[in-house]
Structure 1
Amino acid sequence: MSPSACERPIGVFDSGVGGLTVVRALMERLPLESIVYFGDTARVPYGVKSVATIEHFTGQITEFLLQCEVKMLIIACNTMAAVAADVVRRLACEVPVLDVIEAGARAAVASSSSRRIGVIGTPTTINSNAYARRMHELDPSLRVYSQACPLFVPLVEEGWLDHPVTRLTAQEYLRPVLAEEIDSLVLGCTHYPLLKPLLRDVAGPGVRMIDSALTTAEFAAERLQREGLLADGSRRADYRYVVTDVPLRFQTIGERFLGRSLGVVERVDW
């Protein structure tokens, strides 16, 4: 028997492992909710691929998760959110769709008093200008200062979360953004929440960190409540992890991102 709408899982997807930071935030904010996570680990990174290819891959993943009878879709990949969110919304029809860029942009605009906001992300996300564009739609008076940080992802995956090399790298990347006297910094990549303590230290107490994993979980809670789709706890929350490849280091990196054991990881072949 198909589960009632409320007891269906939330579908969360990313090009790789980074979206597990969003899953972690959802587990903490919504402990009664079941989750299906899809990581396209065989085809990561998406950032170097064409828009048409990213749209095609994103459509495949969306269709897979819709077959899992999810009640909500969360795009936990900044690259997908920047270039293929429309594809997801078109395929999802009545299923609510959230994404990390929308959540991060809204939270940043709401929190900034000086109207000067910094955004850090991968080169693809920064070049897409998706965060700045969305924030300017919400408040045209904002000043947004963006900085690509290509070395952060490999440093996080290496586990160098508080390494002298990572600290020096952060100081270099943040210097031009901090010079603009920002009061909020958007962590525009799902890997970056793991660097939050170090980034907070480098940026200083006057800069608020906008963690799009946390803000996405908060948005999900609000939307589920509004739609009457919150799980009532009549079933135990179930977590399912689906990937397109299981690289040697996937379990280690995944558990670091999730903050707990992954358990069984399913693999699908396309």
Structure 2
Amino acid sequence: MSRFSNSIRNFRDRIRSGLTIKRQNLLFLIALGLVFIVAIVIRLSPIVVNNYLIKAFDPWIQYYNAEYLSTHTIYEYFNWQDFKSWFPTGYYRGNLRPGLTFTVVAVYNFFNAIGIPITLYDICFYFPAVMGGITVLASYLLGKEVLDKKCGLLFAFFMAFNIGFMQRTTAGFFDNETIGVFATLMTFYFFIKTMRTGRITHSILGGVFLGYLCLSWGGYNFVLYVLPLITGIIVLTGKYNSKVLIAYGGTIGTGLLIFSLFINFNYGELLTSLD
């Protein structure tokens, strides 16, 4: 009888322990969800004052490019000589980084294909705020990979309310940083994850985000400098192993391969003998 009662007691304790863990996970998910929602709501503040306008000069240029791509073919876009911005010789708009332009046009075509009537202007206006929220989630993933879930939540919180980042991801500020910061964090996330797991799929995903970053934002140099620096420090401190090779080779190799698709890719920056 005592054995039976002990079994019941142990079973009850396991249930209580499981409920406690689930309750903690639920509270954690609620906290992360609130940070994500508040991050987006704050960035939608221009709507409160009826300021439904794309702001600054560069965002208008980005919208101008996206509008042209949405009504023309990819070939026409990369051979587009714009006489409105520079006369009489014109300016080749295909020289601008295509990442942001192609992303919003792809989103625009997707929504219209599934029957949701939304204008390209609407997408370009709300896109920065939405990407601000998604970047907050990317911050959580990176912080969690570096240390733990608490670190990830704290990182996400500070990213949500970072003044400089908020300014660049406010609704209407349609510029390259909306993608650039997100792609930077995801590159570091998969790079660190690969060094832990050694899986080549993770390093390729990191390279995809690195290539996406290079095609979208001029700040890509920061990542291309930091990754070799981190790898060099690991080698010098005697902590090098095959996982580091997979992480660095897969991320940098895939990223540069994608970046080389850009019309203004400068091979001389990699191979000085070509100059």
TM surpasses 0.5 = no
More helix by share: 2
Indicate the TM-score class for this superposition, using the shorter chain for normalisation. under 0.3
Query: What is the TM-score normalised by the length of structure 1?
Result: 0.24
Max radius of gyration: which structure?
2
